[in-house]
Amino acid sequence: MADLHRFVDAQEGVHEQALAELTAGHKRGHWMWFVFPQLDGLGSSPTARRYAIHDLEEARAYLAHPVLGPRLVQCAEALLRHQGRTAEDILGHPDDLKLRSSMTLFARAADDPAPFAAVLDHYYDGPDQRTLQLLGAG
C-alpha cells in the first residue's frame, strides 16, 4: 500500500489556505508539491522528490484516499472558476507547469478523469508529454 501520510501531514492546516488562494485566483503559499503532486522523475529538488507520486498505482491510491482524493478534486474544480486567465496568471511559473503534469497524471489514473481533464482543457493545449512518456503512454 502506498504511504500517503506524507501528503496528509503536509496538507494539515494548509489545505484551506491553498483552496482559498485557488478560489481567489492567486497562489501565494508554498504548497504546490503536496496539493498537486506530480510523477516521480519530473522534479529534482528534495521537496519535489519527497512529494513525487511513484507510479499509477500510488496515484490511484491518492485518488481513493478519503481525504486526499476529494481535496484534489476540490482544488481542480476551484481552478475551473477562472475565465480569461492562464494557469501562470494564477499559480506563477513554474507552478503552472507542475499543475499540467499533475493533472495529466491524475487524468490517467482516475476512474473518472473529468475534473483533471477539464483543467487540462481549460488551461493547456493537451496533456503534459513528459508525464505521458514517463508513464509509458506518450
Instruction: Give the pLDDT of the chain (138 residues) as one tens digit per residue.
Output: 568 999 999 999 999 999 999 999 999 999 999 999 999 999 899 999 999 999 999 999 999 999 999 999 999 999 999 999 999 999 999 999 999 999 999 999 999 999 999 999 999 999 999 999 999 965
Residue in 27, 5, 1, 21 with CA at minimum distance from that of residue 93: 27
Quickly list H helices, the chain: 5-11, 15-24, 32-35, 46-50, 56-64, 68-79, 87-91, 95-109, 114-123, 129-135
User: Out of 3.40.50.150, 1.25.40.380, 1.20.1090.10, 3.40.50.300, which CATH number does the structure's domain 5-135 have?
Assistant: 1.25.40.380
